[in-house]
Amino acid sequence: MARDHTPEAMVPPPQIAGKGGRRRGALSATPQWAASGLRLLVTMVVTFLGLLAVTFFIGRVVPIDPVLAAVGDRASGETYEAMRRELGLHLPLWQQFLIYVGKALQGDFGTSVLTSNPVLEDVKRVFPATLELATVATFIGIIFGIPAGVLAAVKRGTWVDHVIRVIGLMGYSVPVFWLGLMGLLILYARLDLVAGPGRIDLLYEGMVPSFTGVILLDAALAGEWDVFWNAVSHIVLPASILGYFSLAYISRMTRSFMLEQLRQEYITTARVKGLPERTVVWRHALGNAWVPLVTVIALSYGTLLEGSVLTEIVFSWPGLGSYITNSLLNADMNAVLGGTVVVGCVFIGLNLLSDFLYRKLDPRAR
């Protein structure tokens, strides 16, 4: 009888499945994706313009005359003025900035005084060496830093935790140039366990076609394993030193994220259900800690790409850091600013990549 007196208005209408329902869902999701893409594009443009503004005004503030760097201090007044007009330095500052932005958008950062090549060509030539060094160092930091951070969190307050934290603290405290010099003195000069400075021995120069500029990858693709292992013997020491600093940062952040996850209720529930401790720690806790770790690893990678200057100088590594340093010492501001913009663009790209991976790994961020 109750069923007979139920009003028809209270009976939910039948769900109509089909293309129309899916189309409505797709249309409702489309504006969100469009708005998200537009915000991302605006963020990229504003960040890039800010980067160009900073580099431009730094180039105007530093006490280096780009005209003298180009013509020399013995040039006549007419030559000096002609070069000043050619560089556009006689124009108002706002007009110089607009010209600088327009050329930068075309990849034109001027000509290097030191090499007489376009700055972008020089950057393309030296950047693969820095990319190779930073990538290997980041892998070292991930392989050793994450397990160390997990172990320190699981063994919190024990001697294991204290040892790992001291090792990480030393990674922040020891100067990189001193560690590099000690590594060369002991492992290269005394024990002869690794190769010396440089990317490769002179004997193997030019033996491998440069497809990517990364010697390890080019040698492996060409099947030149003698060249490959020689390059490994050169990169292992500087990459390990940089990787040590990456390890210190990644292990500390991993420990922090793991301690936060191990205090959550789902971990207690998993343990009450009788799951093995290894599964609870490495699958559940670390699985959730991976979400913020992605951003940490991306920032660590970007830091190694732009912060390997001292390592490159100590090991005579022909990368972007050495290029910018030599250009600064020779008052080659076009090369300095061009290299700085490239490093800034790498940071922007890594931040976008980490944000994309963050959304993929964490459904709550979508």
Model confidence at 126: pLDDT above 60 = yes
Q: What is the pLDDT of residues 45-88, one digit of tens each?
A: 888 888 888 888 877 777 777 777 667 677 777 777 787 787 77
pLDDT higher than threshold 60 for residue 19: no
Q: Are 295 and 301 in contact (CB under 8 A)?
A: no
* Range 297-301 average pLDDT: 87
d(CA 293, CA 141): 12
- Say whether 174 sits in a helix, a strand or coil: coil
- What is the three-class DSSP state of 250? helix
Report the pLDDT value the prediction gives residue 196, as an integer from 0 to 100: 84
Q: For 204-244, what is each residue's pLDDT tens digit? A: 888 888 888 888 998 998 888 999 999 999 999 999 999 99
Q: Which residues pair with 118 in a beta bridge?
A: 111
pLDDT above 90 for 151: yes
Tokens found for residue 68: 């003298």
Output the pLDDT for position 37: 67
Tokens for 49? 């313009």
Per mean pLDDT, which of 98-112, 120-134, 323-337 is the most reliable? 120-134
pTM tops 0.85, yes or no: no
Tokens matching residue 165: 């934290």
pLDDT at position 212, please?
Answer: 85
Q: What is the pLDDT of residues 163-199, one digit of tens each?
A: 999 998 888 888 888 888 999 999 898 988 888 888 8
Of residues 133 and 206, which shows the higher confidence score?
133
Query: 251-262, pLDDT tens digit by residue?
Result: 999 999 999 998
**Rounded Cα gap, residues 186 and 48, in angstroms:** 44
Which of the four pLDDT bands, split at 50, 70 and 90, describes residue 11?
very low
Which CATH number applies to 123-317: 3.40.50.920, 1.10.10.10, 1.10.3720.10, 2.70.98.10?
A: 1.10.3720.10
User: For the chain, what percent of residues have pLDDT higher than 90?
Assistant: 20
Q: Taking the domains of the chain in order of start, what are their residue ranges?
A: 43-105, 123-317
110-134 burial string, b = 16+ CB within 10 Å, else e? Answer: bbbbbbeebbbebbebbbbbbbbbb
Residue 133 contacts residue 312 (beta carbons within 8 Å): yes
Residue with tokens 């500029």: 213
Q: Is the pLDDT of residue 16 over 50?
A: no
Residue 112 · residue 335 · CB < 8 Å: yes
Report pLDDT for 5. 46
The pLDDT, as a whole number, for residue 96 is 82
Residue 76 DSSP code: -
Q: State the average pLDDT over residues 305-322.
A: 85
